[in-house]
Every structure is written in structure tokens, then in C-alpha cells.
Structure 1
């Protein structure tokens, strides 16, 4: 009997070497830096979220998280690059309502599939848009803005981070709900749009992540596209309060990886994200940016969230009449 057991043990060991367990076949996160692709330029709201959460995740992972800005085509250049990246966790991507919602409805053809070519990690935060005008703008309220736009159709303009960006959709939705004609000026990211807003070359921008510009008095906030006022902007009314009922936006930010990334790696990254989100310092930083805290989501819960909001985002595009220009 002992001899038979020895033979069986040898066979078992040989079998394990040839056919390792699913856990050992799926290695943990590779050593070295994790690259987070961001489909928008440095200095914009998406970039700010990425850098904040990346810094806190680096502590949890004990590995550097490097930001790689791949701007252009409404975030699609970054999505294309991330979809083609090595699926081992060494490359992840900042997902947004644009990359995983709006772009599928705005563009007739994408070089990637937002669901099939990516794997979920988790939700980071959500943020409503704020209506901004130059510091010296003669417009001091939403009502004044709408009255001028109706009196002079096509004269006012709004800037965005590019075709298909959340600013583009927010502006298009505002135009439709208010019944006004305002020209769209797309930029290669929110940062250059904000530069021209501060210089007075753009009449307005609807965006997130502009708290530093507001606090430094470089721009003025007229309204917040949320059901309630933002804690960071207690004196700025909601659009409901300002007279335009029902104008609400909700830009969300999350993390995804290339499709095929092993589940244990996704779980490891999700755990690091959850640790980061529980850090009071990160919560404070997000609040100061005008973002809202979220409860950490599991991998599957986040992917269900993404799937559920995609038809809603597509309907928002349809109602707004926004098109990829």
C-alpha cells in the first residue's frame, strides 16, 4: 500500500506541475509600475481624479502608479491604447461616462468595444457639472444667460474637452432644455478650454473639477447641475433653484483593465482602490474638487453599474441631439 501511495503522490505532483491550479496559473499583479492611461490631457478634471486616486492606490499596492495621458478623439485614443495593452494588470485605464457610455452613441464606429475589450476594477467617484463663465462676464445668472442666448441666437459659445466629452454632452443638453442656440467649440481636453474661458475667448463651460479656478476667482460659477447644492460651493444655486428645472448631470470615474486580465489581479486592484477610497484624506480632496464620495464597489457590482448606465447615456445623447463632429 505504501508503494502505491508513493506512486500516486509522484503522479499527483507531476500532474500539478503540468496542470497548475487556477490560482497559481493566474499570477498576482506584476512587480514594477502600474500605468494608468487617461484619455484626456494633463490639467483637466479626469487627469486630476486619476492622479489623486493613483497616488493613494500606489500606497496600498506598494507599487508606483504612473499616469499616461493619451488625449484625443473624445477619449477614444486612450481607450484604443488600453484595449490593446498587455492584460496582466500592468496597464489600467481611467474609465468615464464618455469612454463607457456616451461615445458608443456619439460615434458611428469605434475601434474597441467598451464592454468586450475591457475588464472591471471599480468605481472611483461621481461629480456634477458646474456652469462657469469668465470672471468679467456680464452674465451673472442662468436666467440672464438664457435671455441673452434667446435674444442673440448663435452668438454665445461654450467650450468642451472635445467631441463626445461630458462637457460636450452637458452643453448640448443645456441648449435643448433651455431652448437656446449656443455654438460648440471642442478642444483637445478640458484644460485648454478652461484657458480660453479665463481669457474670455469662450463664453461658458459646463464641467467638473474646476474648484481651484473658482476659488482663485479666475472664473465665476453660476449654477450646479445637481439636485442639491455642492458642499464645496454652498453659495452656488442648483439649476432647479436658478430657474431651469431638471437639468442634472452625473459624470462618473472608474477603473478598467484590458479584457483577459486575470480575476485575481482585478480583485487585487479593486482592493487597493477600496483602501484608497476609505482614506479620509482622499475623500477630503475629492470633496474640495466638487466630487461626491461613493461606497466602494466590488468588481462585478461595478461592471453591472457600467452596463446599467450605458443605455441611459445613449438616451441622453439622443435627446440632446449631440453628434460627433
Structure 2
């Protein structure tokens, strides 16, 4: 027994430099980046922008795969069953990953997830088609008041930032509208353009990706966005609505701490590359730099904020 333990101990000692070396060399092969939504949404667009920079930063390619379902919950519930070697990462969104578990049927808990970097933020916005009878937010509100329940909003999943914004808007505007969840921004935009819903509570970035096909009536930011200088904020129009979605990168729970930090550092480095900044800001994204070392405090603050939001959604009392 003593000899066996000695051999094991010696093996562990000899493995330490190799482990350190593997972190220094990480990544040494292509990586898989899972997007838990359909193609075409903000998670996909921002990941594609990252993909163009990933090889320049790491020397390795990243391959994007899609695993849509249940507003992201299908993929997040399976994240920790994936290999924890750092070569599989997954897109992660808030408030989805706080609100969904509070609803009780997500298949995962917020604390089960391991985000390593939140690299951008997208404010909510209301959209209609370019040919819509609603030219302003006031037009839409007046119609909703005259026709309770008839105005429908397409959005990116149940218990999402879009869903929360729609509930807040109903309360502040004293109207009754119907929120229709889809499995991501892409399908919800398709519904708006196809006339399946009256309007959409989506993210401001959709205004860039769809060009003149849609009209943005208001945006839930503190100030007007540079990409949309003519679009008023909800605050300007008398509604105290500021919010949207944070998006980042998560890893399986078995991923070692040094690899978690390394992936976070890669994302941060990409976030500071001029071409990436230009693409993201031109597309309506707001860049953030919430790395792994800041993650605990950031997530704790968002849980407190979104738990209050969950009461507005009726998820909890």
C-alpha cells in the first residue's frame, strides 16, 4: 500500500508541470462553441463576430454549433454533461438563466452554471414592420388601450429579458398585450416580418440586421444608441424601462479554474480588438468586460435584480 501511494504521489508531482504547460498552451486544437438558440439571433451574431477573431488571438479555430430549445434551457441543462477540458464552451444569457430556474422547470439551477465572461449587452426595443399602421409608440399604446389583448409581441423565449420588458410595459402603459415566446430572436423576427404578431419586443440589434424591413419605436437604454440616433428611449416617452440581455460564455462545471480564466482572458482580448469593436457597435451591441475574476459579484447582483423582476412576471410571489 505504501509503495502504491508513493507511486501515485510521484505521479501527481510529475503531472503538475504538464498541467501548467497545458494551460499555457491552451488551446492547442479547435474548440466547439455551442449557441443555445437558432441561427440569426444576437447570440449567434456576436459569436460569429468572435469567431472571426478567435484564430488571430489563439491560433486555433472555433466551430459554432446550434442547440436551440426552450429559450436556451435545453442546452444549459446539458452543459455540465459535456467534457470539462475547455474545448467546449457555450453561449449564456441573463436574465434567462436566472428567471428560467425560478419558474421551476428549466432542468438546471442558476448556480449550476459556470459563466466565465459576459462580453456584451443588448437593450430591449419594440419593433413593427416598415408598413405597420403604428408609426410611433403612442400609436401602438392607443390601439392597445382600445383593443385589450389584441396586440401581440413576439419575443425571445419565456422568462427572458424580452418577456420581462413586455410585462413592465403593460404595467407602465396601463395596457393588456399578449407576449408570444419563440426559441430565439431569429424565429421571433420571422414572426414579426410574416405578420404572425402585431409587433416584437426584441433587442435593438435586430434593427441593424433587418435594415429597413422593421421600424423601431422605442429602445430600453438610458440614452439613444449611436446606431439609432432617431429612435427615442422609453424614458423619453415617459416609461421608466431600461433593460435587456447580457450575453457571455460559459463552460462545464468540471473545467479547471486555470482554463476558466484562460478562456475568459481570450474573450476579453477579442473584446478589445478594433475590428471586433467596430462590428459590435455598428450592429447595435453594447460591449462589456465582465471577466471571470468579477463574475461572482456580477452574478449575485443580477440575481437580486432579476428575482425582483420575477415577481413582475408572476413567477414568484
> Which position in structure 2 is the counterpart of 1:211?
207
Q: What's the CA shift for 1:13?
A: 11
> Which position in structure 1 is the counterpart of 2:290?
297
Moved more, 19-28 or 143-152: 19-28
> Which position in structure 1 is the counterpart of 2:86?
89
> Which position in structure 1 is the counterpart of 2:215?
220
What's the CA shift string for 1:7-42, capped at 9, x where partnerless? xxxxx9996444346564464335322111211100
Check the 8 A contact 2:167/2:312 in 1, yes or no: no
Q: What's the CA shift for 1:132?
A: 0.5
Aligned residues: 307
Any unmatched runs of 5+ in structure 1? 1-11
Q: What's the CA shift for 1:207?
A: 1.4
1:108 aligns with 2:104: yes
> Which position in structure 1 is the counterpart of 2:147?
152
1:316 aligns with 2:305: no
Name the CA distance, whole Å, in 2 between partners of 1:118 and 1:157. 32
* Counterparts in 2 of 1:18 and 1:300: CA distance versus 1, 3 Å: closer
* Counterparts in 2 of 1:282 and 1:150: CA distance versus 1, 3 Å: same
Name the CA distance, whole Å, in 1 between partners of 2:27 and 2:291. 21
> Which position in structure 2 is the counterpart of 1:119?
114
Root-mean-square deviation (Å) = 2.2
Check the 8 A contact 1:172/1:321 in 2, yes or no: no
Q: Secondary structure at the match of 1:145?
A: helix
Moved more, 186-195 or 251-260: 186-195
Give the TM-score normalised by structure 2.
0.89
Q: What's the CA shift for 1:291?
A: 1.2
Once superposed, which parts of structure 1, at least 4 consecutive aligned residues long, lie more than 6 Å away? none
Check the 8 A contact 1:94/1:256 in 2, yes or no: yes
Q: What's the CA shift for 1:265?
A: 1.0
- 1:24-103 map, 5 Å: 24-25=18-19, 27-28=22-23, 29=26, 31-103=28-100
* Counterparts in 2 of 1:13 and 1:84: CA distance versus 1, 3 Å: closer
Any unmatched runs of 5+ in structure 2? 1-5
Name the CA distance, whole Å, in 1 between partners of 2:174 and 2:55. 46
Q: Secondary structure at the match of 2:224?
A: coil
Name the CA distance, whole Å, in 2 between partners of 1:264 and 1:36. 19
Q: Secondary structure at the match of 1:253?
A: strand
1:286 aligns with 2:280: yes
Q: Secondary structure at the match of 1:309?
A: helix
* Counterparts in 2 of 1:210 and 1:93: CA distance versus 1, 3 Å: same
Q: What's the CA shift for 1:57?
A: 2.6
